[in-house]
Amino acid sequence: MHILGEISNLRAAQAFSDYLRSLGIENRLNPIDGKTQIILQDLGSIALATDELKAFIKDPNNPKYLAASWEVNNDDNVRLSDMPRGSVVPLERLLRSGPFTLSIMILCIGIYGVTTLFQTDVIYNWLAFPSDIGDLSSLTQPWRLLTPVFMHFGLMHVAFNLLWWFELGRIIEEYESGWQLLMLLVIIGLFSNIWQYTMTGPSFGGMSGVVYGLMGYLWLYGKTNPNAGYQLRPQIVMMMVVWLVLCFVLFKDVVANWAHLGGLIIGAITGVGFGLLHRISRKPTQ
């Protein structure tokens, strides 16, 4: 992917984006810091798109740009930088998300639904973090180091966590891969769970540590690899960090705060590492 340039007016950027698509040049929009980046997905079109951008800047009111907006079928170009816009995920966007993102949502909803409907703790007992991990060599159910991330203890708990999982996870799956998202789920889930256990014991569960990890990953991945095609708005990061601090102060006994903090830290570290790695390995040749 390649950042073609920036346009200060979002509507003008959308018109130009539609015009490029009418020429067969696939692109996406990424609003950031009051401007909108034009992200090209086809490196072979850089020269043509650059010339078109220069022409657009000289004559942005040309009728051909407005005509393109009517002719092109928009596919929700504005991505993560405008998220979230409410508490309800539109069905169309939900169905367009990646299969791994959806699979994890279905898994968490299924576990919560069955456990609540039948008033049984059997599934939770099978997924809960081990009561003692002092001797890992004797651990007969190693999956339990990770599986607490799939456990939720209330409707708001599961809804809030899965909303953020959807908003953050689908971006990673779309721009990178489902395997990358799976790897991050495992790394962040294990680290945040073990840290929470170390600080408070085994009684915890939920996807929120992973959510904070994905936020940290996306935040610093976009910073270290500008060609990623997405970046988190600073307001989103600030909101999540403020909520993290408030939970430590107001809900220290009922929220897995250490999992949140641990997830954020390991996610940020992973984001820097992969951002630098992909920036180097995917650098276009001259």
Catalytic residue check, 278: no
Q: What is the DSSP letter of 61?
A: T
Q: How far apart are CA 268 and CA 245, in angstroms?
A: 17
Burial of 189 (0-12, 13-18, 19+ CB in 10 A): buried
Please tell me which residue in 87, 208, 278, 281 is annotated as part of the active site: 208
Say how many residues make up the chain.
Answer: 286
C-alpha angle 160-163-223 in degrees, rounded to nearest 5: 110
Q: Are 212 and 260 in contact (CB under 8 A)?
A: yes
Please tell me which residue in 2, 97, 260, 281 is annotated as part of the active site: 260
Distance of CA 72 to the CA centre of its chain: 27
Q: Are 228 and 1 in contact (CB under 8 A)?
A: yes
Q: Are 30 and 19 in contact (CB under 8 A)?
A: no
For residue 170 the two structure tokens come to 């689908």
Catalytic residue check, 152: no
Within 8 A by CB and 6+ apart from 66, the residues are: 15
Q: Are 272 and 265 in contact (CB under 8 A)?
A: no
Q: Are 35 and 7 in contact (CB under 8 A)?
A: yes
Q: Report the catalytic residues.
A: 208, 260
